Amino acid sequence: MINISSLESLIGELKDKLGQDYVATDKEICFAYSMDSSPVPGHIPDIVIRPKSTEEVSEVIKLANKYKTPVYPRGAAASLVMMGVPLAPGGISLDMTRMNKIIEIDEDSMCVTVQTGITWGELEYELKKKGWYTGFVGPGPGLSSTIGGAISVASVYYGSAKYGTACDILLGLEVVLPTGEIIKTGSAALDTSKKHTRYGLGLDSTGIFCGDQGIMGVKTEATLKLYPVPEATGFFVYGYEDEDKLLKAIHKMASLHVASDIDYSDNQSGFDMGGGEERYIVRGKVEAHSEKELEAQLELFDKIANEMGGVKTAPAQAKMYFEDMIYEIFPMAGMIGNYGASCNKMPIFESKKVHDLFLKYREKHKAEIEKYNLTTVWYTFISGSCIDILPQIQIPAHDPEALKYGTELWKNFIKEELKYGTVHYWLGKVIGDQVVEHYRPTYFNFIKKLKNLLDPNGILNPGLLKLP
């Protein structure tokens, strides 16, 4: 940790750069920045700052290098895996949520440039006034999440079946490197070009910062693709008893890249999410530019479901999942307690192995699950050509013994599922430490070299991915 004298000097210089109102050292404020939404607490920072511009972020990073003080960028704190929180006592919590401006809506180039502290909700509200949206419109926590946080973990969920991840709609970034230098990526890296494309100028430097967990730089601006808002929206729900037929149906649905959202849950995995009488429930959302097109698409999904033995039920639950719940963090979190979730991708048919593992794991620990009033949930959704698996262990938040046991149960399951080829993107400290154990040595050496080059003093998010 930084010594008292140096800390006081750092605080003074930060206040000179950002102003008194945006540099906090109060214990109560700093404590609030010691945690995200995960069941595992972080540490308390020495300083919380709220910059308003890329230039201010650059000044902060330069001072952090001067004083060899760690910096932990933070968005909406919706992470479930210890991200955006200090991983050791002290340091600077860099709250990006004051940087919430829309820089430019370029309708001719069909893209929008924003500061990365803006939420998906704020962006959607303004874009829809002009008849546009981003296709992928936010991760699981909904519209309260920030653009920067979603890019840092390559988030998926709302719109992912058709549009992919937050990084798939990304055209370029403005980034403050861990040395304080400012760079632009994508076509904006050219001094003659607009921000209309990601590729075509050599290295895809944008990709270095996609899913990087915030270790390679502080993203301050992002340019995203725009699509016309659909004129018609429809939903479907089908029930299945046979998992093999279910997966065949989902595979066919996903291969079309027509539905914006497709998910399924196992109502016998510990928590009945409803939607029908069958064990497995598939939900989906379809967008179209006319009622006639929408009708044809819904008929197509009915045909696929019917061919695979699906039972069509009322679509109301799909509307709730893919439209209503986006406006608030998943309501079950408040009802049940802390999430212990692992978000990972697999080929669709391969996911059955992890589902079987989850059911066996749940049965093995059934007595303790009941003792501590834990709730298990099997929930998945489609992201591009992959299935995204979210096996969950819900933990009563205010029971210390349950929290301790449930957290270890969650971590140990992640360790087991990694053996089956799960690919995690929401890493943070909790999952990242385990994923690193499966890195091929040459790949991990490459990451270390890149990190050392960009962050020679190791000031940005030290401790993530087992990096200094």
| 289-296 contacts, C-beta under 8 A, 24 or more apart | 289/228, 289/230, 289/231, 289/232, 290/231, 290/232, 291/231, 291/232, 293/232, 294/232, 294/233, 294/234
In a domain, 433, yes or no: no
pLDDT averaged over the chain? 94
Tell me, what CATH number does 94's domain have? Answer: 3.30.43.10
pLDDT over threshold 60, residue 128: yes
* Cα–Cα distance for residue pair 197/205, rounded to 1 Å: 12
φ, ψ for residue 46 (rounded to 5)?
Answer: -80, -35
For residue 149 the two structure tokens come to 């946080």
Q: Specify the 3-state DSSP secondary structure of 110.
A: coil
Residue 343 and residue 415 share a domain:
yes
Residue 94 and residue 34 share a domain:
yes
Domain count, the chain: 4
Residue 303 and residue 224 share a domain:
no
What is the percent of the chain where pLDDT is above 70? Answer: 97
In a domain, 72, yes or no: yes
In a domain, 466, yes or no: no
Residue 213 and residue 115 share a domain:
yes
Q: How do residues 325-383 score in pLDDT, each as one tens digit?
A: 766 545 544 445 567 888 899 999 999 999 999 999 999 999 999 999 999 999 999 99
* Cα–Cα distance for residue pair 138/329, rounded to 1 Å: 11
pLDDT over threshold 80, residue 6: yes
In a domain, 435, yes or no: no
Identity at 296, one-letter amino acid code:
A
Q: How do residues 197-245 score in pLDDT, each as one tens digit?
A: 999 999 999 999 999 999 999 999 999 999 999 999 999 999 999 999 9
* Cα–Cα distance for residue pair 85/194, rounded to 1 Å: 35
pLDDT over threshold 90, residue 129: yes
pLDDT of the residue at 355: 97
In a domain, 194, yes or no: yes
pLDDT of the residue at 273: 78
In a domain, 467, yes or no: no
pLDDT of the residue at 324: 79
pLDDT over threshold 90, residue 14: yes
Residue 362 and residue 350 share a domain:
yes
Residue 106 and residue 224 share a domain:
yes
pLDDT of the residue at 334: 47
* Cα–Cα distance for residue pair 421/354, rounded to 1 Å: 9
Residue 210 and residue 273 share a domain:
no
Q: How do residues 308-334 score in pLDDT, each as one tens digit?
A: 999 999 999 999 888 877 665 455 444
Tell me, what CATH number does 241's domain have? Answer: 3.30.70.3450
Tell me, what CATH number does 387's domain have? Answer: 3.30.70.260
Q: How do residues 134-193 score in pLDDT, each as one tens digit?
A: 999 999 877 889 999 999 999 999 999 999 999 999 999 999 999 999 999 999 999 999
Residue 320 and residue 258 share a domain:
yes
Q: Is 27 exposed, middle or buried (0-12, 13-18, 19+ CB in 10 A)?
A: exposed
pLDDT of the residue at 337: 55
Residue 154 and residue 119 share a domain:
yes
pLDDT of the residue at 259: 98
Residue 134 and residue 116 share a domain:
yes
Q: Specify the 3-state DSSP secondary structure of 59.
A: helix
Q: Does the CA dihedral 10-15-18-23 come out positive or negative?
A: positive
In a domain, 452, yes or no: no
More confident: 77 or 358: 358
Tell me, what CATH number does 197's domain have? Answer: 3.30.465.10
Range of the domain at 80: 4-98
For residue 268 the two structure tokens come to 């016998």
pLDDT of the residue at 402: 92
Residue 224 and residue 163 share a domain:
yes
* Cα–Cα distance for residue pair 344/341, rounded to 1 Å: 10
pLDDT of the residue at 327: 61
In a domain, 442, yes or no: no
pLDDT of the residue at 335: 47
Residue 284 β-bridge partners: 236, 262
pLDDT over threshold 80, residue 397: no
- Count of Cβ atoms closer than 10 Å to residue 5 Cβ: 8
Q: Which of 195, 212, 228 is the last residue of a domain?
A: 228
Q: Specify the 3-state DSSP secondary structure of 279.
A: coil
- C-alpha closest to that of 262 among 238, 280, 242, 282: 282
pLDDT over threshold 60, residue 76: yes
Residue 210 and residue 125 share a domain:
yes
* Cα–Cα distance for residue pair 36/73, rounded to 1 Å: 12
pLDDT over threshold 90, residue 395: no
